């Protein structure tokens, strides 16, 4: 499973990128707002920093303007994935932009039928939002499983980009089910390294080591 970082915070991306675990980045209008920076400046910087796809979201709701915005954000780097919403106009824009050779991430996907349409429209990525389904008492992970089954039934090449990830358990489950990519906030990715038994074991080893009076260096 590829790891994308769901943030427009370039310091956080830099730290994870140094570890070599960043396969791409996703942003959205809320994350751009949180960064306090201009979309073009921040997306261009991120696209320069990472080798993989960097999703930049369009904000128009009509087809023509969405395509125009897609062309604008695509100029910000060679690795830009144009993000469009899973609306009828978004699907039309996906078809146009993917037909032109751009990577397209169809976002705000909340049903298997929506994901089926995104694949038919030539999406590079479809982004089902796990956490937001969990928020309304549905099971976001069930949707990842349904899309996996459907895409595998027909050999669709659209990649399932598990999004709206809120916990480390979401990461485990997305990987178990077979999401192609998971995009998560930096703190969730860092928490994946934590385990209380690791901390407890390390503490005991260090205490015993101190008793030996030895030094490795």
Q: Is 132 in the site for ligand E4P (CB under 6 A)?
A: yes
Q: Is 127 in the site for ligand E4P (CB under 6 A)?
A: yes
Build a one-symbol-per-residue string for 72-111: x at contacts with ligand E4P by CB under 6 A, - elsewhere.
-----------------------------------x----
Alpha-carbon distance 198 to 52, whole Å? 32
What is the DSSP track for 27-52?
Answer: --HHHHHHHTS-HHHHHHHHHHH-SS
Q: Is 26 in the site for ligand E4P (CB under 6 A)?
A: yes
Q: Is 58 in the site for ligand E4P (CB under 6 A)?
A: no
83 is annotated as an active-site residue: yes
| Catalytic residue of the set 40, 83, 95, 203 | 83
Q: Write out the binding residues for ligand E4P, residues 153-172 only, by CB under 6 A.
A: 163-164
In the complex, minimum distance from the CB of residue 208 to ligand E4P, in angstroms, rounded to a whole number: 42
Q: Is 129 in the site for ligand E4P (CB under 6 A)?
A: yes
Report CA-CA distances (Å) from 182 to 8, 23, 56, 98: 16, 10, 16, 21
């Amino acid at each position: 499973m590829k790891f994308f970082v769901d943030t427009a915070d370039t310091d956080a991306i830099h730290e994870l990128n140094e570890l070599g675990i960043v396969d791409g980045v996703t942003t959205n209008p809320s994350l751009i707002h949180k960064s306090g920076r201009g979309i073009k400046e921040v997306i261009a910087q991120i696209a320069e920093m990472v080798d993989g796809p960097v999703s930049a979201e369009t904000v128009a709701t009509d087809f023509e303007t969405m395509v125009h915005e897609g062309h604008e954000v695509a100029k910000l780097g060679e690795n830009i994935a144009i993000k469009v919403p899973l609306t009828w106009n978004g699907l039309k824009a996906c078809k146009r932009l993917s037909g032109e050779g751009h990577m397209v991430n169809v976002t705000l996907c909340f049903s298997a039928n929506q994901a089926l349409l995104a694949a038919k429209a030539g999406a590079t990525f479809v982004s089902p939002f796990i956490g937001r389904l969990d928020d309304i008492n549905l099971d976001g992970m069930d949707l990842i499983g349904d899309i996996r089954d459907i895409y595998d039934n027909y050999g669709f090449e659209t990649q399932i980009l598990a999004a709206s990830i809120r916990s480390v358990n979401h990461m485990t489950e997305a990987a178990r089910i077979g999401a192609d990519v998971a995009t998560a906030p930096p703190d969730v990715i860092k928490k994946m390294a934590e385990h209380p038994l690791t901390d407890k074991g390390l503490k005991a080893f260090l205490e015993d080591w101190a008793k030996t009076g030895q030094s490795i260096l």
